[in-house]
Amino acid sequence: MVKIPLEVYDFANGLRPMAHFLLRSDKPHIFAPIKAIVDTGSPKTLIGLSDMKRLRISKVQLNTIEGPLNPIRIGGGSVKTKILPNAKIKFSDLFEIELDVNFPVSGDEQINQPSLLGVDFLEKTGAGFSFNPSKREAYFEIED
C-alpha cells in the first residue's frame, strides 16, 4: 500500500486538501509542479487558469492538442476544455500514473480558478481518500 500525504490549506473560506504533483507531457511540452485541490465533487481533473498563467502555458500551445472541445461546468460557470490524453502525474518518488487532464481554452476566465484533482484520478488509481479537517490531515492510499 502506498500512502501519499496531502497538504491541508485555508483556501476560499475553508480548509481544502491539496495534492502536490509533477505534471509531464511531451506534446505540448509540459514539465511543471502543480498544486491542486482534491475535489471529490469534480468528475474531471482540470489544470486551472492560475497555473496555466504561472507556467506560461498558452492557449496556442493547447490548440496543438487534437480532439474536440469538452465543455465542463465549474462553480456555476462553463468552461470549454481541451483534453490532454495520458499526461503523466507523479507524486514525488511514491507514485506515477497517466491520466487525461483538462485544460481550459475558453469560457469564464476567472484568473483565480485553481487546479482540481478530480474523481477520475480516484477511479483510475483505485485510491482511497482520507480527510480529517480537525487534525488538518489528508492522504491517498493506493494499492501497490
- Domain with residue 94: its CATH number is 2.40.70.10
pLDDT one-digit tens code per residue, 18-73: 999 999 998 888 899 999 999 999 999 999 888 888 888 877 777 778 777 888 87
Helix extents (H) in the chain: 49-55, 59-62, 119-125
pTM: 0.89
Structural domain contains residue 6:
no
Q: Which three cell numbers stand for residue 60?
A: 496556442
pLDDT (0 to 100) of residue 142: 95
Which amino acid is residue 40, in one-letter code? T
pLDDT band per the 50, 70, 90 thresholds, residue 110: low
Structural domain contains residue 144:
no
Structural domain contains residue 8:
no
pLDDT (0 to 100) of residue 111: 55
Structural domain contains residue 143:
no
Domain count, the chain: 1
Structural domain contains residue 2:
no
Structural domain contains residue 79:
yes
Domain that holds residue 107: 17-128
